[in-house]
Amino acid sequence: MGMYKYLRNNWNSEEVTQLMKSRMISWRREETIVRMDKPTRLDRAHSLGYKAKQGFVIVRVKIGKGAGKRPRKVHGGKPSKAGQYSMPSVMNKRRVAEMRAGKKYPNMQVLNSYYVCEDGRQIWFEIILVDPQHGGVKRDKQYSWLCKGKGRVFRGKTAAAKRSRHLGKGKGFTHMRKN
């Protein structure tokens, strides 16, 4: 077994769970979007395209859990129908995290993202950002396609966005949403 397979198998162990609980205590006090030196889940980042070289940035984003509330009626209607029930978002939380990171770093392209952890109130995701103007990225044949397009996160071209729009093949994509 390679190193990344050991990391992947060890991720759900009791030691790592205790470590993440202690990390979440400090993460709750941090800002919503935090730039990091290296990924928390190295195996997951590498499988999604992260390379430890210049031009690649990892950002941890904190998203609040729960659904939003329905807007309250101002005029007309019965008071019994004015309850503010939960209104689930069309976009999934991972896509929202990618969009917030893309907004904070407008000169970067969102490559991909992955789940890190969650508690009762928040979910943390790590977003892989790539600088398309960096020479090392432009010369790399694997990532030179990122230099041509703009704003793929806002056009729904990332994996999380495609999943929230029910685009894809295989299990889970049989019932297409009509937007």
Domains of the chain: 21-69+82-164 (3.40.1120.10)
* pLDDT value of residue 172: 65
* pLDDT value of residue 76: 76
Question: pLDDT tens string for the chain (179 positions)?
Answer: 788 888 888 888 899 999 999 999 999 999 999 999 999 999 999 999 999 999 999 999 999 988 877 777 777 777 776 776 777 778 889 999 999 999 999 999 999 999 999 999 999 999 999 999 999 999 999 988 888 878 888 888 888 888 887 777 766 666 555 55
Backbone angles phi, psi at 38, to 5 degrees: -145, 160
* pLDDT value of residue 178: 54
* pLDDT value of residue 60: 97
Contact by Cβ (8 Å): 98, 5: no
* pLDDT value of residue 151: 83
d(Cα 111, Cα 159) in Å, to the nearest integer?
Answer: 9
**For residue 3, which amino acid is it?**
M
DSSP for 37-92 reads: SS-SSHHHHHHTT--SSTTEEEEEEEEE-SPEEPPPP-SSS-GGG----EE--SS-
What pTM was estimated for this model as a whole? 0.84
Q: What is the CA radius of gyration of the chain?
A: 19
Backbone angles phi, psi at 111, to 5 degrees: -85, -50
First-to-last C-alpha distance (Å) of the chain: 44
